[in-house]
Each structure stands twice: as structure tokens, then as C-alpha cells.
Amino acid sequence: MADTTAYRVHARITGPGVSEITAKQSTIRFDSAPAMGDELPGPAELLCSAFAACVLKNVERFSEILEFRQEGASVEVTAERQQSPPKFVAVRWTLTLVTDEPPARVDLLERNLTKYGTVYNTLAAACDVSGRIVV
């Protein structure tokens, strides 16, 4: 079997329509009501959050590995869900970077983000994933 790393969270219902996930020393409250709520993120937003976290973690990682200069990054993620059968069919992302790197280096960063992102690759195996970098 290949080398693997295990990740663990604990989730529980804390009240009607409200649950929480504990991971390491953080707790994230989320909407677990049957109907979509307006206050807390639900599972779909948590999935988008995991994707966004993967992209930003790899921006930081590849900034060190590639000696890529950046002074900040933000990412917007949208997941498209079909109703029947219920599943995500697409993930769209826009990464905004503050950098003075030339376009070829930005392209290199993007290739690394799309090739080595764990959450990115997992979702890309299940649905269409596409995005762009804006400098």
C-alpha cells in the first residue's frame, strides 16, 4: 500500500439544525438543518472552504519552494450542484495574487497548484474543476 496520511475530525449535533466540527484545537459551527439556513455554512460551503484552504496552503508552500514572491492572496470558490442525482458537477475558482512575478512564473505557480493540491486533485477526479489567477 502507498504511503498515506490520516486526517481526523469529530462532528456532533449541538442543537436543532446546528452542528460543530472539532479539528485539532479549532471548532467550526455549521448548518445541519434539513433546509438550507442563512447564518452558518453548510456542507457545501465547508467543501468550498476545504478547496480554498488547499489552494491558499499551496500558494504559501510553493512561494517557499519556488521562491515565488507574493504579498498576499485570496481565493473565491463556487461549487455547482445538480439536483438529481444530487452531486457537485463543477468547482470554479479565482485566485487573486499580489505579486510582481512575471506571467511565466505565475503560470508555473498555477501548474503546481493544480498538480499537487490534495483537495484540488480529489475534487478534480469527481467533477470539473477550473479556475484562473488574477494578478
pLDDT digits (tens, 9 = 90+) for 16-51: 999 999 999 999 999 999 998 889 999 999 999 999
Residue-averaged pLDDT of the chain: 97
pLDDT band, residue 131 (cuts 50/70/90): very high
Determine the pLDDT at residue 2: 80
3-state SS string over 64-91? HHCCCCCCEEEEEEEEEEECCCCEEEEE
Asked if residue 119 lies in contact with residue 54, where contact means CB atoms within 8 angstroms, the answer is: yes
pLDDT band, residue 1 (cuts 50/70/90): low
Return the domain boundaries, the chain: 1-41, 43-134
pLDDT digits (tens, 9 = 90+) for 64-78: 999 999 999 999 999
Q: Which top CATH class is 43-134?
A: alpha beta
